[in-house]
Amino acid sequence: MNLKKKSLILLLIFLIIITIMPTVSASFDPEEYEPDPLQGGTIIIGAGNTILGVIQVVGIIVSVAILIILGIKYMLGSVEEKASYKKSMIPYFLGAVMLFAASAFVEILYEFGMKIAGA
């Protein structure tokens, strides 16, 4: 396609989008508007905190259990097995770091959102 055809197609798409978009007329005084910072979001926040807590607890339990199992196998294994356990520990540590980093990241986002909402 040459440049003229591409620009004509983009122009037509733009015009279709503009004609489809509805127009909105609202009559209210912006000075009188006082938004509720959470707007009923307390249920969602509570559920999110519960889910995040469960994920953190389960992640900690599973990662500690796997670390114990890998440690016992490493101590009781032969030289060849120790080398293979060292290779299997790298994905374990990466997964554990990702789990804890993800839950910490979600908690940071939550705190940031609550500061923005003013709650």
From residue 28, alpha-carbon distances to 23, 33, 88 in Å are 16, 8, 63
Q: What is the pLDDT of residue 115?
A: 81
Question: Of 1-5, 29-33, 115-119, which one has max mean pLDDT?
Answer: 1-5
Q: What is the pLDDT of residue 39?
A: 63
100: Cβ–Cβ under 8 A, 6 or more apart, which residues? 59
116 touches 37 (CB < 8 A): no
Q: Letter for the amino acid at 83?
A: A
pLDDT of 35-90, one tens digit each?
A: 666 666 677 777 878 888 888 888 888 888 888 888 888 888 888 887 787 787 88
Record the tokens describing residue 88, joined without a space.
Answer: 């299997």
Domain residue ranges of the chain, discontinuous segments joined by +: 40-119
> Beta strands of the chain (E only): which ranges?
none
107 vs 52: CA distance, rounded Å: 8
List Cβ<8 Å contacts ≥24 apart for 39-45: 45/110
